[in-house]
Amino acid sequence: MESYALLLAATLNAGTVLAIAALGLLINEKAGIVNLGAEGMMLCAAVAGFATVVHTGNDWLGFAAGMGAGALLAAIFGLLVIWLNTNQYATGLALSLFGVGFSAFVGIGYVQARLPEIPKLTLPWLRDLPLIGPALFRQHPLVYLTAVFALGLIWFLYRTRSGLVLRSVGESPESAHALGYPVRWIRLAAVVMGGALCGLAGAYLSIVYTPLWVEGMVSGKGWIA
């Protein structure tokens, strides 16, 4: 029974990383932008978040640093793709390669550095329930916030006027422009938001999921283990 609880808990922990990044890329896709540089943004955000926690001891500042790094790279990507009309796929791949190299270079100074233990959110009584207690009610708060955000994003996209505008910009930009909506700025905002979420995913990976920085875990490149 305990092994199943641990398996479920580990699945939720690992799935949170993918869920946050997927939500960010979903926002990009709804705006009509395909960003293949998600891995590069996550890597840069991972080292930014990890370094911030090493120096401050505050994991939430680390998350903020990761989101900032992801948003900055996404803004650069957006300017190149939306304003300069560069190829989305080539620009995304270039961003991914940049993130791999940059994070490996910056992360050299943090190899084998360890973070302080981060407390998990435990709910009295619920945490002691068999199977579901250890699996569901002993997670980092960001796990629960991700689930809430996913539901909120679904509501935003399909139940609000702003969500309709965002989808119309992605599906029919000419019509949205004809109606007076600033298509480029909306797309840029969506790209930056998506980048911030990818950055949050990268920071979560290096701060919570594997709080130890080493090299050579993904395709022989710099990453965390």
pLDDT tens per residue, range 19-32: 999 999 999 999 99
Residues 82-99: tens digit of each pLDDT: 999 999 999 999 999 999
Cα angle: 24, vertex 206, 91; to 5 degrees: 45
Residues of the chain with pLDDT under 70: 1-6, 118-135, 137-138, 215-225
Q: Return d(Cα 69, Cα 38) in angstroms, integer.
A: 12
Q: What is the pTM of this model?
A: 0.86
Alpha carbons within 13 angstroms on the beta-carbon side of residue 49 total: 32
Residues 107-131: tens digit of each pLDDT: 888 887 778 776 665 666 666 666 6
